[in-house]
Amino acid sequence: MGFDSISKELVKEEKVRILESLMGKPCTFREILNINGYAPSTLSRTLTIFEEEGLVRREDEKYCLTGAGLAFLKVIDVIKAVYEFKDDINGVPEFVEILPPGFLAGIHNLRRAEVMDIESALKLGVERIAEAKEYGLYVDKVISYDVYKLMVEKNLQGVEERVISNRETLYGRGSTFRKVLQDMNLTKEEYELIKRKVHVKVFDTPIQLGVIDGEFAILQLNDRVDRFYVSEDKRFITWCEHLFTYLWDNAEDARFNKIVDEVMAEKGFS
C-alpha cells in the first residue's frame, strides 16, 4: 500500500478530520464516530488504513496519533497555508524555488501578523527604526535620504545594521548613503563607528523585510503585491530572521565600507 494509499485518504478533507480528532487525546471508535458522523464501515476502513500505514495505533481500545500521523497533519497545515497565501507567491516562482523547505513550512506564521498597505507599513517601519536599540536586519528597495540619515544616526548610537539590496537599487542606495555621510559633520572616530556598524550585501529578491531588535518584523513576500505582514509575535519574528539569515548567507558583499573610507578621505581623515 504505502504512500499512495495514504495520499488517497488524505486528499479528502473529511478523512483528515479523523486524524485531527485524535490530536491531544486518544479516542475510541465510537467517540470518533460521534465527532465526525461517518458511517461505521467508512470509519473502520479508514482507521484500518491509517493503522496499517503507521499514522495511528490502538491502545486499550482507543486510537491515538503516532509521530508520523502528527507529522502528516503538520504537513497538511503547511499545504493549507501555502494555498491561503498563494496570491503573495504566485508571481515569484523563481524565488520560491530557491527557498529552503523549512521556510515554506513556516508560511503559516503569516497568520500571526497584521496586514497593512505599503504606506502604513513603511510609516510604521520608520517609526520602529527610530526606536531601535541593538540591531536592524533589512531587505528592501527603499532609497531615501531621510531614512538613511536616521539609520546612520542610530549607528552612531550603537545600533548595528545589516542590509540586503537588490542590484537595481544598489547604485542609488550607495549614492544616497554617500551623500548622507558627506553632509554630516562627524569625527574620524564616528565615521569608523559607522563603518563597523553598517554591513550591506546584494541579492536580487522580490521580498522586502525588516526585523528590529528581535521585537518587531515586517515582511512583503512579493514587491508587486501591496500587502505587508507586520507583527511583534515571536514566532513570526524568528521565521523572518531565519529567512534573512538564509538570504544573507547567499548574498554578495556590496563593499559599502569603501564608501565610508572615500568620504573620510574627502574630509581629510587619513
Domains detected in the chain: 3-77 (1.10.10.10), 89-266 (3.30.870.10)
Q: How far is CA 169 from CA 57, 61, 96, 172, in A?
A: 56, 64, 22, 5
| Alpha helix segments (H runs only) across 37-144 | 40-52, 67-84, 86-89, 93-98, 101-105, 118-130
The pLDDT of residue 12 is 66
pLDDT of the chain, 270 residues: tens digit per residue: 555 655 566 556 777 888 888 988 899 999 988 887 778 998 899 899 889 889 999 998 899 999 999 998 888 888 888 889 998 889 889 888 888 878 888 999 999 999 999 999 999 999 999 999 999 999 999 999 999 999 999 999 999 999 999 999 999 999 999 999 999 999 999 999 999 999 999 999 999 999 999 999 999 999 888 999 999 999 999 999 999 999 999 999 999 999 999 999 999 986
Spell out the alpha helix ranges (H) of 157-233: 167-183, 188-197
Give residues with Cβ within 8 angstroms of 36, minimum separation 6: 14, 17, 18, 21, 43
Whose cell is 504606506? That residue is: 119
Residue with cell 509575535: 233
Distance CA 223, CA 221 (A): 7
Contact yes or no for 161/194 (Cβ under 8 A): no
Q: What is the CA radius of gyration of the chain?
A: 25
